[in-house]
Each structure stands twice: as structure tokens, then as C-alpha cells.
Amino acid sequence: MTRSRTRLVASAGAVGVFMGGLAGGTLAWSQAPAQGAAADVVPAADAANDPAGAAAPAAAVLAADTLAPPTPENVTGTADTTSVTLKWSPVEDTSLTGGGEPSGLSGYLIHRNWEFLAFVPAGTTTYTDNAAPGLYRYEVRAIDLSENISQPSPRIRFRVGDHDTTAPNAPTAVSATVAGDSATVTWTTSTDLPADTGIGISGYLIHENGEFRSFVPKNPALPRDGIEQMTFVQPLTAVGDVTLEVRAVDLDNNYSAPMKVVVRH
């Protein structure tokens, strides 16, 4: 009796051995090796003792799961003075591709303010974030055992602690130059107050002769207390001497005093 030995290298997914051929055989063994792992497959001896292996069973590599699981739904939560508790509906990984099987759900990825915060294992659909006072935005993603990641859930926002009722510092070094029907306005950014507990700057309001014209969001890459120079091109509607004002506004809608500059249009 001749016994043959075949060595397969799986690129992803499961390695399986079919006894009696793929067309009419049965799956005798399978496992999911790590990506790129080698799998030794030992088929049964052929009945005719054929050294060429004409009657040997066939081996096949099943298709990998490459599809992302569904996006978590019904993401809600509550907040108090010290924490935020999130909850969501459970996700089932049922994605199939190329005749393969879903790999199954690994868990959930929690992002806060666009940064990864925590992994929650499958079977758990709540998470509590013990956070400092402030305003936070959360997203939940599902991830399966093949490391496919879903789209993020709709972003939800919570406040930890009391409301910020203090206006931020006013912007400084405000200047403007006119070209055609627009003014290029430049200023140095503000910091929020109180210095240690302020919720943070949201952006800047531009007024023309006392009328609101534009909102300029804060640079999201700038640290909470970071300072930089900002520039914004503001279309002008008034003629003659035009007063432009720049105000800082924080995430609790507290406004700084305006800083003014007069230009000729």
C-alpha cells in the first residue's frame, strides 16, 4: 500500500481535505491556519496501490472571508460627570465570498474623537469610557476573525461633566488685505478658558459690518491649547470702509470678544 503526502501553503482562510475527490467526495478535515502558514495534508492510501496517486483524494484550499461584517446599529449611550456608557445591537458576521464561510465576529472597535480607544470582544455590546470632563464623539465598528472591519456607526456625541460657561480668549494679531471682491483675513488662534477645564475651541466667526458671514472651523490636528496662524478668504458685500470682526467660539457656544480690522473695498 502506497501512502502519499502533499504539502499545501494557504494564502488565507481554511485548508480542507476532500476524500474521494471534490466532485463527489466528502470533507474529511479542515482548519483555518494563519495567513501564509503551511499545512501538511496526508491523504488515505489509494485502493489500487497506485504510486502515481491517480486515485488519491484531492486537496482544496477554501475561499477566504474577505468581506467586512455589518456596521453596528442602534448605537446609543448615556453620560454623567465622570463617564460615558455606550451600547449597541449585536452584529453577526454572515458575509460569504467565493464559496467560503464567514470567519465569525471577533468584536468591536471603539473610537473616540477619531482615535482608537478600545476593543470589545464579541458577545459584549456595551462599553464604559471613564473620561475627563469634555465633549466626546464616539463611533463603533465591527471586526471579524479575518480582521475585516465594518464601516463606522453614525457618530454620537456626549458631554462628560458640567457645561463650560466661560468664553475663550479672543484671537489676536488680526489683519486683512483686499484683492478684488474678497479680503484675506489672518489671525492668531485662541485658547479656551478656563485653561484646565475649558471644553475647547470649535472655530471662528467672521462678521462684515456687524453681519455674520462665515464660520471657520478649528484645525482638527491642532492640540487643544495649540496656537497657530489662520488665514481665510472672506468675500465682501459692502463697499467703502468695511469692518471685519473675528471671534472665537468654543464647543459650548461661548463667544470671545470680537477683534476688528477695517479695510477699504
Tens digit of each residue's pLDDT (9 = 90 or more) over 110-142: 999 999 999 999 999 999 999 988 778 999 999
What does the pLDDT read at residue 128?
Answer: 98
Provide the pLDDT for residue 209: 98
CA angle 139, 142, 148 (to 5 degrees): 125
pLDDT score for 61: 53
| Residue 91 CB neighbour total at 10 angstroms | 22
Count other Cβ atoms within 10 Å, centred on residue 201.
Answer: 25
Fold type of domain 76-160:
Immunoglobulin-like (2.60.40)
Domain extent listing, the chain: 6-61, 76-160, 172-264
Mean pLDDT of 209-225: 89
Confidence of residue 220 (pLDDT cuts 50, 70, 90): confident
Mean pLDDT of 8-21: 39
**What residues have CB less than 8 Å from 71, skipping those under 6 apart?**
91, 141, 142, 150, 151, 152, 153
Do the domains 172-264 and 76-160 match in fold?
yes
Q: What are the pLDDT digits (tens) for 23-52?
A: 344 444 444 444 433 344 444 444 445 445
Per-residue confidence (pLDDT) for residue 216, from 0 to 100? 97
Pick the CATH number of 172-264 from 2.60.40.10, 3.30.930.10, 2.40.128.20, 2.102.10.10: 2.60.40.10
Cell of 44: 488515505
Long-range contacts of 18-26 (CB under 8 A, 24+ apart): 18/57, 18/58, 18/59, 18/60, 19/43, 19/44, 19/57, 20/57, 21/57, 21/58, 22/58, 22/60, 25/57, 25/58
